[in-house]
Amino acid sequence: MKIAIIVNDEKLSFYLRDAIRMISDWDAEFCSDPQTFGRSDINGFNVIIADFGIPTIDGQTLLKSIHGKTDADLYLLCDSADCISKADVSHDYIKGIIKKDIVSIINKLHYLETKYRIKNMMLTENKNMNTIVTRANGYSFEIKGDVAFINIKRVLSDDSKIRLLQKINEACVDKAIVSYPDKKNLHTRHCGQIFDIYKYFFTNGGKVVFCNTKDRSVDVLRECKIDQIMPVFENQEEAVEFLHT
């Protein structure tokens, strides 16, 4: 977990840095100048904590100025009830207030570390589940920008084909790239499902291309006359460029 702590308190920084080093492997960076921090590259941080009591630029103003440049969780550091009463945490970009003492800060960081660990576990689990679903359905479907990338693993069942067309419809895209990345050779029975996808996009005013051809794939597409109705490319870069012309 990578942390940025902006605080104009040398004593707190010293003891907090020492405590973090002894109890965790967190990557913590300390900064006393909010202007310098605001101009730096802050994309890599998971958590940014800013001291409300910095005299030059208070923590709340700093967090407001940087929240559009980072996905980090932003917290305000306050040292008194008066400070808390002045702080405005009604904005979505401020996750909360941390009391300005070492124990409170460490406890919050422990909580956030647990939260991120669980989040990463869930992402991994979802990725594994997507792999299982892809194997079961016989295809994968991903949206990048305004293009649907459809990777087909095998000849699709009627149910899988219907689900794929439903996904395309729900995604509201009008451009697609179809490929068989795991196939060294295409057979004529693959052409029927390629044509079904083409027909869907053509009927709805969209564009679809085929790419990732290997070995005899181009010959098979020519035999099926697929190359006469949809462009065939050897790589995705050329395919994406064509779709945007």
Residues 188 and 89 in one domain: no
**Total structural domains within the chain:** 2
In this predicted structure, what is the pLDDT of residue 132?
54
Same domain, residue pair 161 and 218: yes
Q: Report the share of the chain in percent with pLDDT over 70.
A: 81
Question: What pLDDT is attached to residue 48?
Answer: 92
CATH number at residue 211: 3.30.750.24
pLDDT band at 12 (very low <50, low <70, confident <90, very high): confident
What's the CA gap between 8 and 40, in Å, rounded?
17
Average pLDDT of the residues in 11-31: 85
Q: Is the pLDDT of residue 205 over 80?
A: yes
Q: How confident is the model at residue 215 (pLDDT cuts 50, 70, 90)?
A: low
Q: Are residues 114 and 8 in the same domain?
A: yes
**Which range marks the domain in which residue 161 is found?**
138-243
Q: What tens digit of pLDDT does each residue of 94-105 get?
A: 888 888 888 888
Mean of the per-residue pLDDT values for the chain?
Answer: 80
Q: In this structure, are 85 and 187 located in the same domain?
A: no
For the chain, list the strands marked E by DSSP.
2-6, 27-31, 47-51, 73-78, 94-99, 139-144, 147-152, 175-179, 207-211
Domain boundary among the residues 63, 93, 126 is at 126
